[in-house]
Amino acid sequence: MKTEVTKLLGIEYPIIQGGMAWVAEHHLAAAVSEAGGLGLIGASAAPSEWVREQIRAAKELTDKPFGVNIMLMSPYADDVAKVVAEEGVKVVTTGAGNPEKYMEMWKNAGIRVIPVVASVALAKRMERAGADAVVAEGCESGGHIGETTTMALVPQVVDAVQIPVIAAGGIADGRGIAAAFMLGAKAVQMGTRFVATKEAVVHENYKHMILKAKDIDTRVTGRSTGHPVRALRNDMTRHYLELEQQGAPFEELEKLTLGGLRRAVVDGDVKTGSVMSGQIAGLVKEEMTCKEVITNLMNQTENLLKGALDYE
């Protein structure tokens, strides 16, 4: 299935895997790229040497293009920004900030730059700064989110910029992908769907919690601190939201999430850890390989777009 984005990135299918902190390491990224999508290594808050090793390890597993997601709140963002240029990474996506200051270096290195945005204003600014495309990420997503839903955000971003728009947030099957195309997107980015895959090196407890989640099971913590984060509800979110309602100070709240994602992903502590997930977890019922996920998604999408308006 060819779109402006598959051509831009040299991939087979218009599916990008989210650059999820702790989850998106080289095994997952390589598996998604091997299956014809674009896999991403999530640099999260890791030191740049870890990112360099991950890039080299992914290259051992696939000859196809893959990318790196740079979380701009990371203390190591400046170093990681240089490493991706040095290592000849094909695609960079960014999150949780404005990547303008790195843009010239990346463009000079021949990198395709795709900032993740949660507003029309940042999308326009990124286009002016030379971005090749943007991911418009709605607040159905897991992790750090903006204010606006995918349904409302994507068409507004599509109208505001000339570069291709990739939709993210609340998409996990062919219906979501077909809907994103109807909103004007040229590809989708999916995170939660790829957490529950065989190749994702994620503790079984985390995968199990996503597979068992229902529609109403996510919560957003940190709205008062200016860092809203969506995760599956557990003891941590309950305690956090109680404290937040009592007006607890920023430092006390941060203590609750600090290291919480690592504890959930690596140690399987899904009670006091941060089980970041999108609202679409309720639709994800089965662990599959990345190849099975992508094949199913593309079959469903093609059938829907052919006018067979029945799902499957």
Residues of the shown chain interacting with ligand TUI in the complex, contacts defined by CB under 6 A: 21, 44, 71, 95-98, 116-118, 122, 137, 143-146, 227, 229, 257, 261, 276
Nearer of residues 71 and 111 to ligand TUI, judged by Cβ: 71
Supply 213's token pair.
Answer: 């989640």
Supply 232's token pair.
Answer: 């599956």
Nearer of residues 176 and 260 to ligand TUI, judged by Cβ: 260
Tell me the closest approach of the beta carbon of residue 103 to ligand TUI, in angstroms: 14
| Angstrom distance (rounded) from CA 35 to CA 160 | 32
Nearer of residues 51 and 116 to ligand TUI, judged by Cβ: 116
Nearer of residues 13 and 22 to ligand TUI, judged by Cβ: 22
Phi-psi region of 96 (alpha: psi -120 to 50; beta: other; left: phi over 0): left
Nearer of residues 71 and 131 to ligand TUI, judged by Cβ: 71
Nearer of residues 64 and 193 to ligand TUI, judged by Cβ: 193
| Angstrom distance (rounded) from CA 70 to CA 21 | 10
Tell me the closest approach of the beta carbon of residue 147 to ligand TUI, in angstroms: 9
Tell me the closest approach of the beta carbon of residue 19 to ligand TUI, in angstroms: 8
Tell me the closest approach of the beta carbon of residue 7 to ligand TUI, in angstroms: 24
Tell me the closest approach of the beta carbon of residue 28 to ligand TUI, in angstroms: 16
Tell me the closest approach of the beta carbon of residue 94 to ligand TUI, in angstroms: 8
Residue 303 backbone dihedrals phi, psi, to 5 degrees = -60, -45
Nearer of residues 64 and 144 to ligand TUI, judged by Cβ: 144
Tell me the closest approach of the beta carbon of residue 166 to ligand TUI, in angstroms: 12
Q: Are 45 and 77 a contacting pair, CB within 8 Å?
A: no
Q: What is the DSSP string of the chain?
A: ---HHHHHHT-SSSEEE---TTT--HHHHHHHHHTTSBEEEE-TT--HHHHHHHHHHHHHH-SS-EEEEEETTSTTHHHHHHHHHHTT-SEEEEESS--GGGHHHHHHTT-EEEEEESSHHHHHHHHHTT-S-EEEE-TTSSEE--SS-HHHHHHHHHHH-SS-EEEESS--SHHHHHHHHHTT-SEEEESHHHHTBTT----HHHHHHHHH--TT-EEEE-TTTT--EEEE-SHHHHHHHHHHHTT--HHHHHHHHTTHHHIIIII--TTTS--B--GGGGG----B-HHHHHHHHHHHHHHHHTT--S--
Nearer of residues 15 and 122 to ligand TUI, judged by Cβ: 122
Tell me the closest approach of the beta carbon of residue 22 to ligand TUI, in angstroms: 9
Tell me the closest approach of the beta carbon of residue 143 to ligand TUI, in angstroms: 2
Nearer of residues 178 and 264 to ligand TUI, judged by Cβ: 264
What amino acid is encoded at 236 in this protein? M
